[in-house]
Amino acid sequence: MTKSENNTREVINNQSFFQIIKYTVLFLILGWNSNGFAENAKEEYSQSKLLSLKIENKSIREVFSEIESKSEFIFFYYDNILDINKNVSIDVQNQTINAILDQLFKNSNNTYTITDRQIYIKQKSTPGTAPQQDKKTYRITGIVKDGANGEALVGVNIRIKSRPQTGTATDINGKYLIDVLSSDVLEFAYIGYITQDIPVKGKTTIDVTMNENDQVLDEVTVVGYGTQKKISIIGSQQSISAADMKVPVANLTNSLGGRIAGLVSVQRKGEPGFDDSNIYIRGISTLTASMSAPLTLVDGVPRSFSNVDPEDIESFSILKDASATAIYGVRGANGVIIINTKSGRAGKPQFNIRYTEGFTHFTAHPEFVDAPTYMDLSNEALVTRGNPRQYSDDEIRMTRNGEDPYLYPNVDWFSTLFNNFGHNRTANANIHGGSDKATYYIGLGYYDETGLYKMSKTHDYNANTYYTRYNVTSNVTLLPTRTTEIKLGIQGYMAHANYPATGSETIFGKAFYMTPNYVAPVYPDGKIGDRPSSGVDNPYALLNETGYANQWRSQIFSNLRLTQDLPFIIKGLSVTGMFSFDAYSYTSNRFTRTPDTYIATGRDKNGNLIYTQTYTGTQTLSYSNNSEGNRSIYLEAALNYKRQFGLHDVTGMLLFNQSDELNTKASSVEEALPYRFRGLAGRFTYSYGGRYFGEFNFGYNGSENFAPDKRFGFFPSFGAGWVISNEKFFKPLSSVIQYLKLRGTWGKVGNAKITGRRFAYLATVDASTTTSYIFGKDMNQKYATKAIGDYNVDVTWETANKTNIGLDIMTLNNKLNVQIDIFKEQREGIFLSRGSIPAYVGMIKTPLGNIGKVDNKGIETSFTYNNTWKNWSLSAMGNFSFNRNKVIENDMVYPYPWLDRRGQKVGQRYGYIALGLFESDEDVIASPIQSGDTRAGDIKYKDLNGDGKINENDKAPIGWGAVPEIIYGFGFTLAYKNMSLSTMFQGATHVDVQLSGEGVMPFSQGLSRGNLLSNITNRWTESNPSQDVFYPRLMPGNLNMNFESSTWWLKSANYLRLKNIQLTYGLPKNFLKKINLNGANIFLQGVNVFTITPFKLWDVEKGDGRGDNYPNIASYNIGINFNF
């Protein structure tokens, strides 16, 4: 390599490069290492390497190139001290490099210094020179080291600030030399480290210690079974700041949406304690969405993270491509989420306390019409189809006037069931500290949320929804020797949930089911209203009068990890062992009853209500309970290697792991058998000079689902990276782009979650009590078996071939960081029933096999921006993700191409294509036949096969789907002195909602049931025969095809949501000193503050159907955080 004041050039010949690789691999495999040997080798090479040259009248540059091509020597020099174009002649045979250079510079002003294989050309010193004179240049030297470990930093860029074109870089030993003026200021810059400006001030030696900048590329990032510096990462992975996750939500899964590219988070319900979001990484790549969840690891062990306290999180990373996930083998196909909890730091004990108090409300909820409007519309539905009215004008008038709300009820079921506001509270306290021999972190957490049910308080039990959770985290690190590290971690939580004995889906469903004039919820004397039925339908009664239930959940996590460095065997070698024991317990108790119900049929002469009993209930609470639990043990042993040989960095890891999980409350022999996993994993990485990176990962493991000869599989991945910005030709652009890295990966990963059955390779026999095979001579012997069921002897894992190409960019003086990834996945071997076997073969169940194929591809991009000026600072972030999957094979036969699921998205909806509404009865007659009473104003469908009638063969792919194809997020933090404002937006597009069910489809179950949404005014009528309406012509029941699944009922669910906003005020430092606090701030915080969406009926994330589950929650909190 040659260094000049204008540029940097590196020349590597193939022979020397592969020699370096050869020796590096040899050192890694054989462990042939000795510091003394290495030092001797430095001297021996320059003395033992003999060269022959015969050069006539060629430039010194060509002489250097000739020497570099015949050896491993590399030249360093400055243009201003060496005439590189000067022609010389030299003829030597079998001479050392010293002899050759002595002859080359014999009659010149240059001399040289040899360090190992690096040759530094310099000027011969002039006696009597005064280097400190300000207008004359002189040479200074120094060493640049890493502030964390004292190791030399190779390739640090050093330049003179007033003459930025003049500079150099540190060599393999961290040394540098540069000619300067006494008045110059030197800038030391290195990717991932804090840039330093140091005045020369006449010094001849300047040694520099550089500290890492945690906000740029050299931060340590969590990867599979370990960590790597971010600059060396080749795979596609990203992290979320732990501070960004500190929001007042009960479930950690609900704080992730919009924060990271490629992570899809959809929250379908908001009931406290039961509000897990559905999480997908890069969408859905298999044919079963429920089998698409990522692998989640907490402190290196497979665990759920829903109940982890955000205050205890140190790092949160997701691994997306094969290079990052192949190491997990059959568990890594759907991506991996890795969470590490906090550890202690050496120093005095530091206490931190955080407390928030707030209120909650629904983000959105359905609004219904009142009873008079419902009655008017019921009459309209009858009359418009030629039937007489159901309600008289007097009944409607009395209902509207509220003259007798018990005989003519007018009930808003939603306001009857729910309060406007709920409540939540969080409290956290933690302490950390330690010495150089031991550190500790202990954290306690508390979360409490009360739901929004409106309770009657007529009983001595509490049936309201509330959820309380207690967390504890304790991590201790011991350093008994300089080479030994022991980590002990214990985490756990205990949660208590209380709720009505009747589930929230049923209560909400009945609110949609009940018409506003159905019955009074409760009568003045406390009697419960209901109409005659086989049970209780009144949602007020289901909420308040059917008892209560509760759950107790507890889980304990424990980790013991030992790391031992083995420098006495090989420098850089270490071993790690880990033992983990987890225990989970769940108990639910239900106390149930059913009330007596009545309906008021009139009043007596004294004006008292006359009742008819409609249902006889039970007056005492009955009790039932259920308990579950499991225990799991996880073992891990790893051999690790990490070493730097000059410009070469080599790491290696070989790991064995095994897990056993036992269901302690098993109800069958199959469930009682332990779930076991065993496998090997490996990672080998190589980098050269901070520019070229290579990586190989593998997982070798299996699953009990597969037969012994198919149980284990090998899942490799390969990756390469190139830091283009560190090349010579890129230097002219370095002022525009400070960092540019190209990376690419390919790998094969597996998915063992292909069926809900254990031991899926074993055939099953279906039992039957009604039909049996008949055997015997007289055909009178019956056996209670029906048929062989699932037969899957050849079952094996799904495999995913993943390709990823990425680009990392830092610009605007490292203030803007951009990451772009393009990916493609080909999922094969998806487990399906064979659909191509014709029915006449006579199989009761068709065989299953690994026959499905799905392609998934997309693009992701994200950015962060950080800047400060005077008293202001700004941090901004954003991300965008697009992925689209496509079914390639599902072994099904379809009568028409448009019915073929192949070529369509996973979970693609199928329905009729609505052309609009029939404009007249003549339009109905002239159109393809639709079943039922079809008239003007009804939905008109497209006849795809042209047979003149609308039926199942005319259904086609419709809509985007319930899981968004495009997700995005953006936000910023703007700070001025000790105040800051932070926002976080989440958005999605290419997603829609398929409406269905009573309450949404007017009178679909008749006129006696089914509430009506308030937007029913936007409908087709004879006086408003518009095509631009929400509802078609009304009808008293399901009389035609209006309520079929179609594009008419498909509504856009695109949205942009203000997910989080926080205003923080930090108390003045002078004040804090007086009260002995290190820091304190007060903040206001909002979660799910508002949503912009064309879908207005209920919360847009709730998905298909009629929105009849517990709505999602918005929260507004005030909090305080202080440490001392």
Prediction pTM value? 0.76
Give me the pLDDT at residue 527, please.
93
Residue 25 pLDDT greater than 80, yes or no: no
Rounded distance between C-alpha atoms, residue 937 and residue 53, angstroms: 96
Query: Mean pLDDT over residues 593-622, rounded?
Result: 91
For residue 15, name the pLDDT band (cuts at 50, 70, 90).
very low
pLDDT tens-place string over residues 387-417: 999 999 999 999 999 989 999 999 999 999 9
By C-alpha distance, which of 932, 967, 974 is closest to 949? 932
Give me the pLDDT at residue 290, please.
64
Residue 1090 pLDDT greater than 70, yes or no: yes
Q: Residue 221: how many CB atoms within 10 A of its CB?
A: 19
For residue 958, name the pLDDT band (cuts at 50, 70, 90).
very high
The C-alpha angle with vertex 984 and arms to 978 and 986, in degrees rounded to 5, equals: 180
The full DSSP string for 1085-1106 is: EEES--EE-S--SS-GGG-SBS
For residue 324, name the pLDDT band (cuts at 50, 70, 90).
low
Residue 792 pLDDT greater than 70, yes or no: no
Query: Mean pLDDT over residues 698-721, rounded?
Result: 84
pLDDT tens-place string over residues 259-286: 888 888 888 888 888 888 888 888 887 7
Q: Residue 487: how many CB atoms within 10 A of its CB?
A: 18
pLDDT tens-place string over residues 203-232: 889 999 988 664 444 455 555 556 556 666
Residue 486 pLDDT greater than 90, yes or no: yes
Residue 118 pLDDT greater than 90, yes or no: no
457 half-sphere exposure, CB direction, 13 A CA radius:
1
Highest mean pLDDT among 580-594, 691-705, 838-852: 580-594
Give me the pLDDT at residue 401, please.
93
* Mean pLDDT taken over the chain: 84
Contacts of residue 300, Cβ cutoff 8 Å, sequence gap at least 6 = 225, 338, 340, 559, 561, 578, 580, 636
Query: Mean pLDDT over residues 964-982, rounded?
Result: 91
By C-alpha distance, which of 821, 794, 817 is closest to 806? 821
Q: Are strands 175-180 and 138-146 parallel, antiparallel or unpaired?
A: antiparallel
pLDDT tens-place string over residues 765-785: 655 555 555 555 565 555 545
pLDDT tens-place string over residues 1027-1041: 999 999 999 999 999
Residue 132 pLDDT greater than 70, yes or no: no
CA dihedral 1019, 1021, 1023, 1026 (to 10 degrees): 60
For residue 840, name the pLDDT band (cuts at 50, 70, 90).
low
Contact yes or no for 811/737 (Cβ under 8 A): yes
DSSP state of 101: H
Query: Mean pLDDT over residues 1060-1081, rounded?
Result: 86
Give me the pLDDT at residue 770, please.
55
Structure-block tokens of residue 14 = 């193939």
Burial of 479 (0-12, 13-18, 19+ CB in 10 A): middle
Rounded distance between C-alpha atoms, residue 848 and residue 836, angstroms: 11
Rounded distance between C-alpha atoms, residue 901 and residue 747, angstroms: 27
Which residues share a beta bridge with 453? 418
Give me the pLDDT at residue 28, please.
33
Reported for 673-677, long-range contacts at CB under 8 A and 24+ positions apart, including other chains, are 673/758, 675/704, 675/758, 676/704, 677/331, 677/701, 677/703
279 vs 791: which has the higher pLDDT? 279
Give me the pLDDT at residue 5, please.
34
Kindly provide the b/e burial profile for residues 1028-1037, where b requires at least 16 CB atoms within 10 angstroms of the residue's own CB: ebbbbbbbbb
Residue 355 pLDDT greater than 70, yes or no: yes
For residue 36, name the pLDDT band (cuts at 50, 70, 90).
very low
For residue 66, name the pLDDT band (cuts at 50, 70, 90).
confident
Total H helices, total E strands in the chain = 13, 59
For residue 843, name the pLDDT band (cuts at 50, 70, 90).
low
Residue 34 pLDDT greater than 50, yes or no: no
Give me the pLDDT at residue 347, please.
82
By C-alpha distance, which of 14, 148, 16, 31 is closest to 643? 31
pLDDT tens-place string over residues 435-462: 888 999 999 999 999 999 999 888 888 8
CA dihedral 1016, 1020, 1022, 1024 (to 10 degrees): 90
Contact yes or no for 224/717 (Cβ under 8 A): no
996 half-sphere exposure, CB direction, 13 A CA radius:
11
811 half-sphere exposure, CB direction, 13 A CA radius:
11
Full set of structural domains in the chain with CATH: 1-124 (3.55.50.30), 127-213 (2.60.40.1120)
Q: Are strands 347-362 and 422-434 parallel, antiparallel or unpaired?
A: antiparallel
Structure-block tokens of residue 277 = 């979001």
pLDDT tens-place string over residues 228-245: 566 667 878 888 877 777
Helix axes 97-104, 35-48, angle to 10 degrees: 50
- Single-letter amino acid, residue 1120: I
For residue 808, name the pLDDT band (cuts at 50, 70, 90).
very high
Give me the pLDDT at residue 35, please.
39
Q: Which of 367-376, 603-612, 883-892, 917-926 has the lowest mean pLDDT?
A: 883-892
665 vs 957: which has the higher pLDDT? 957
pLDDT tens-place string over residues 156-189: 878 787 776 567 778 778 889 888 888 888 988 8
Q: Terminal CA-to-CA distance of the chain, rounded, Å?
A: 52
Residue 125 pLDDT greater than 80, yes or no: no
Element (H, E) at 1078: none
pLDDT tens-place string over residues 515-558: 999 999 999 999 999 988 877 889 999 999 999 999 999 999 99
201 vs 664: which has the higher pLDDT? 201
The percentage of the chain sitting over the pLDDT mark of 70, rounded to a whole number, equals 87
Contact yes or no for 569/31 (Cβ under 8 A): yes
Contact yes or no for 446/427 (Cβ under 8 A): yes
Element (H, E) at 25: helix 14-30
Rounded distance between C-alpha atoms, residue 502 and residue 463, angstroms: 10
862 vs 130: which has the higher pLDDT? 862
Element (H, E) at 359: strand 347-362
The full DSSP string for 546-578 is: SEEEEEEEEEEEEEEEEEEE-TTTSTTEEEEEE
Q: Are strands 118-123 and 163-169 parallel, antiparallel or unpaired?
A: unpaired
Q: Which residue has the tokens 């790549």?
A: 285
Query: Mean pLDDT over residues 1053-1068, rounded?
Result: 92
